[in-house]
Structure 1
Amino acid sequence: MKVYDGSQTNGTKKSAPERIKVGIAEYKVTTDAAILTTSGLGSCIGVALYDESSGAAGLVHVMLPTAEDVEGGASAKFADTGVETLVDALEQAGADIASVQAKIAGGSDMLDFSENGSSIGSRNAKQVRATLDEYDIPIIGEDIGGDHGRSIQLKADSGDLVVKSANTESTTL
């Protein structure tokens, strides 16, 4: 019996795009038709950058607003230096920063222990926006805030960002 599962086209088998996991305080860049994924976005923010002209795409999973807040740690751990590092890596991969667009997700207020009334999630979002603005990179889609976690997938061939959360259906930005 022949099974039709969508993996065959004209007698040739389609290969699934490579899935590249981006951990907390990490970033990855690709120029292939890969899918960059990260999960565990509570107060953390996933910043997806895409340059259609070069086909370069990148994703960073930032935890804290600025590197000056904490000594040590990877540059991708912080919203300011994480975005800067990702932009540099995209340029090295052939991206034209003038045509890069951003999509962001995360920044929830899941556990707010702040004394000044400003949660880590909202401070992360503010810093991500400020750093992207320094590079004149427009944010063309976002799923920020709330009180729920998220997982995201950046489809590098199209720039689509699929956001999955526990309390809503998946959305594509």
Structure 2
Amino acid sequence: MKVYDGSQTEQESVGQPERKKVGIAEYAVTTDEAVLTTSGLGSCIGVALYDPDSNTAGLVHVMLPRHDEGEGARAKFADTGVEVLLEEMERAGAQRRSMEAKIAGGSDMLDFSENGSSIGSRNAAIVRETLAANDVPILGEDVGGDYGRSLRLKAATGDLIVKSASQGTATL
């Protein structure tokens, strides 16, 4: 199975910004020109935040909608994952009033919900709700469908590159 994680060969990476991988239920924040990456977004959502004023970028890979529905790290859940990323961005020098969001993922890869919304659509709804409650606008999104995605957040520009096997590559 080919994984679209945006990785490069050693020869391609010479002179390129550092890549920092973000796993499931993890987040990363940077103030340098690193590229934050995550892969394996099915029903999971990748939330990318960028503050152009402080040149601070962050990425979280959330797995489930609400912290009260399970156990684990705050970054595992859409509600608390967005909150922890906002907090860490501020610790790094970002201002909430100038942050911008881009989101991707939330597919209905395996929909086991007979009486309600899928995990992917619930994740997307909670991410949107939490960002709105914190007055962070969503400038771009690639959400839904029935396919997986991988992401690269370019910290120098705030561009979010979304790759999928079936849909190709898009820049948000």
Q: TM-score, normalised by structure 1?
A: 0.91
SS in 2 for 1:128: helix
2:114 alignment partner AA: E
For 2:83, the equivalent position in structure 1 comes to 84
Deviation digits for residues 30-52 of structure 1 (CA, Å, limit 9, x no counterpart): 00000000000000000000000
1:131 maps to what in 2?
A: 130
Which structure has the greater CA radius of gyration?
1
Question: Shift in Å at residue 117 of structure 1?
Answer: 2.8
Task: State TM-score, norm by structure 2.
Answer: 0.91
Matched, 1:143 2:128: no
Secondary structure of the residue that 2:102 maps to in structure 1? strand
Helix, strand or coil at the partner of 1:109:
coil
Q: Distance in 2 between matches of 1:169 and 1:15?
A: 26
Q: 2-side partners of 1:41 and 1:157: how far apart? A: 23
* Whole-angstrom CA distance in 1 between matches of 2:36 and 2:27: 9
Identity value in percent: 69
Question: After superposition, where does 1:109-128 map in structure 2 within 5 Å?
Answer: 109-128=108-127
| RMSD between aligned residues | 1.0
In structure 2, stretches of 5+ residues that fail to align are 1-10
After TM superposition, the structure 1 stretch with the greater mean CA deviation from structure 2, 104-113 or 114-123, is 114-123
Q: Bigger CA drift: 113-122 or 59-68? A: 113-122
Runs (4+) of structure 1 exceeding 2 A deviation are none
2:15 & 2:31 partners in 1: Cα distance? 17
Shift of 1:115: 2.4
Q: Deviations over 1:91-150 (max 9, x none)?
A: 000001100000000000010001223100000000000000111000000000000000
Aligned residue for 1:3?
A: none
* Aligned mates of 2:105, 2:166 — CA distance in 1: 14
